Amino acid sequence: LASSATQAATAASDLRIKLAVGGPIEGFAPYDTLVARESGANIDDPIIGSQMLYTSGTTGHPKGVYRGSAPAVSSLFSKMVETARFNNGTDLAMVTGPLYHAAPLSLNLLLPLSAGVGAMLMDKWDAEEMLRLVDRHRITHTHVVPTMLHRILLLPPEVRAKYDLSTLRWILHGAAPCPVHVKRETIEWLGPVVFEYYGATEG
């Protein structure tokens, strides 16, 4: 990713700080070195921070939802971990959406990572490509929106039949109500592996 980071930094001419994580990149400061310089002793009341997620902007510009400290583990989070039944020795999650949205970041990436499960990111979502990646990488967990399920179901049966999806045992979906026929067809095809939730970035 070093070349991508360099290219992005070149395109952002007003960038003030460039940090490299996981290895050196010319022109970037090493993150670990900078962190090692700080003790945190001068912080009077340290708190565990939290990510700032942005709303969709349906009523104007997207708005950052500030949380002063990391929230306590919610009953919803606990239930998701319970239904996911992560196995950090064999499982692999697939991130289907952009990480600047709440659900892909929190539920599709950070949730499995917090359980020691790896995650694979799709560059761009495509119905058949998702099936191909599930088959190739033996994906066990993913998060989708109902439109994605609908588009997958629109694929010709012979296309869907090309891929082995038997490893999928947790398909979490949200963002909008799922039409009954979409959920029913998905369950008839893949089994009882579909879990629905409701939430809001501001919640």
Our measurement of the distance from residue 3's CA atom to the centroid of its chain's CA atoms, rounded to an integer in Å, reads 24
Residue % of the chain over a pLDDT of 70: 88
pLDDT at 60: 78
> Contact, 69 vs 48, CB < 8 A?
yes
Question: How many residues are there in the chain?
Answer: 203
Q: What is the pLDDT, as a whole number, of residue 179?
A: 86
Hey, what are 155's tokens? Answer: 């694929």
Give the model confidence (pLDDT) of 164-192 as tens digits: 999 999 999 887 888 899 999 999 999 99
What sign for the dihedral angle of Cα 86, 91, 96, 101?
positive
Centroid of chain to Cα 180: 25
> What tokens appear for 38 in the block?
């700080």
CATH class for the region spanning 75-196: alpha beta
Structural contact between residues 140 and 168, judged by C-beta atoms closer than 8 angstroms: yes
Helix (H, G, I), strand (E, B) or coil at 109: helix
Dist. CA 136–CA 61, nearest whole Å? 39
Segment 50-92, tens digit of pLDDT = 677 777 666 778 777 776 665 566 666 777 778 888 888 899 9
Centre a 10 Å sphere on the Cβ of residue 174 and count the other Cβ atoms it contains. Answer: 19
What is d(CA 132, CA 126) in angstroms, rounded to the nearest whole number? 10
Domain ranges of the chain: 2-36, 75-196
Q: CA 142, CA 139: separation in Å to the nearest integer?
A: 8
- Is the distance from CB of 149 to CB of 178 less than 8 angstroms? yes
Higher pLDDT, 175 or 6: 6
Indicate the average pLDDT of the chain.
84
User: Contact at 8 Å (CB) between 107 and 97?
Assistant: no
Three-class DSSP category at 105: helix
The letter for the amino acid at 163 is: Y
What are the pLDDT digits (tens) for 137-169? 999 999 999 999 999 999 999 999 999 999 999
CB distance 187 to 153 below 8 Å: no
Query: pTM for the whole thing?
Result: 0.70
Least confident range from 24-28, 76-80, 171-175, 198-202: namely 198-202
